[in-house]
Amino acid sequence: EPEVTQTPSHQVTQMGQEVILRCVPISNHLYFYWYRQILGQKVEFLVSFYNNEISEKSEIFDDQFSVERPDGSNFTLKIRSTKLEDSAMYFCAGRERPYEQYFGPGTRLTVT
């Protein structure tokens, strides 16, 4: 069964550094999402992406964040200048139309 993959599984970075989290969605999916989960808190929506543009973003998704689908397969989340509070698990998800969302295994980001 096809699955969503994310790399790396764990990223440690210093405050102020840029990070890029990568996701490879299932090939026939059209809609893509990033969510994050700060340790001990609920999973929160960050951004949705369709047809090569952002369709919706939350208030968390400020100018420090950007998303891209550079080559038609990878889907990336970039954080330009990481803060301590960006430490979280980041999940990528995808779907076909109004169907089930398939989530990746997550990338744990630790900002020191």
Partner 1 sequence: KQEVTQIPAALSVPEGENLVLNCSFTDSAIYNLQWFRQDPGKGLTSLLLIQSSQREQTSGRLNASLDKSSGRSTLYIAASQPGDSATYLCAANNAGKSTFGDGTTLTVKP
Chain positions contacting partner 1, by CB under 8 A? 31, 33, 35, 42-45, 48, 55-56, 89, 91, 93, 95, 98-106, 108
Beta-bridge partner residues of 22? 7, 76
DSSP state letters, 69-111 = -TTSS-EEEEESS--GGG-EEEEEEEESTTS--EE---EEEEE
* Least distance between partner 1 and beta carbon 94 (Å): 11
Q: Looking at beta carbons only, is 40 or 72 nearer to partner 1?
A: 40
Nearer to partner 1, 44 or 76 (CB): 44
